[in-house]
Amino acid sequence: MQGYLKSIFFNFQFSILNFQFFLLSLYKKIMSSSLQNLSDHNTAQMPPKTVVENQRYAIAVSDWNSDITYALLDGAMSALLQNGVKKENIFVVHVPGTFELTHVADILQQHRCFAAVIAIGCVIRGDTPHFDYICQGVSHGISYLNATGKIPVIFSVLTTNTREQALDRAGGKHGNKGVEGAITAIQMANLSIQNKNNNLKLNYANIGYLHIQP
């Protein structure tokens, strides 16, 4: 009986992971459509460079599909530098594959010396379920780090059906997901939540860009 209950619980957890991955894939498909270029962003919504230049950022990058992930890395580095991050304040660590990103991102997050961590990888669908397991594992792992940690970990992982689709999103016609990851990292690193007079206020880079009043 106990084994039967464990089996039900495992299947329930796996179903939740499948649903989470479906939502993530749907979001990525919408964001990466021809109507949305991954490199586009509103510079007016970025925090002042005088703030960003004092922050440190970490990038964990997978060496698997390196022709794609290194292009994403270049995009992330360029975007960080263009938006005020100093080169000496960018720390890059390489891992063998996308699945290992969660472990290294966890280590970097625990250091608490970085404003944000960017996880860069690329998984291309093949003939076996390996693609699904890797995508589910890394998306769940990074989601967990964001839910439990105090430093944002940015999911900058391409999960595509073909190599052509990946190249299109690594500096091709759909932009560069590395750029998107860097911009997201800076924005998330400069969010702060304050509670004043029982009203929740969300300040952006301490300049009052975003406000949420319940």
Q: Which residues are catalytic?
A: 130
Q: Answer for the pair 170, 206: CB distance below 8 angstroms, yes or no.
A: no
Nearest CA among 99, 129, 98 for reference residue 14: 129
**Hey, what are 177's tokens?**
């997901």
Question: What is the C-alpha separation between 143 and 121, in angstroms, rounded?
Answer: 15
Q: Strand order of the sheet with strand 116-124?
A: 90-95, 57-62, 116-124, 153-160
Which is it for the CA torsion 89, 93, 98, 100, positive or negative?
Answer: negative
The token pair that represents 70 in the structure block: 């290194």
- Give the alpha-carbon dihedral of 106, 92, 81, 34, to 10 degrees: -70
Quick one: DSSP state of residue 174?
T
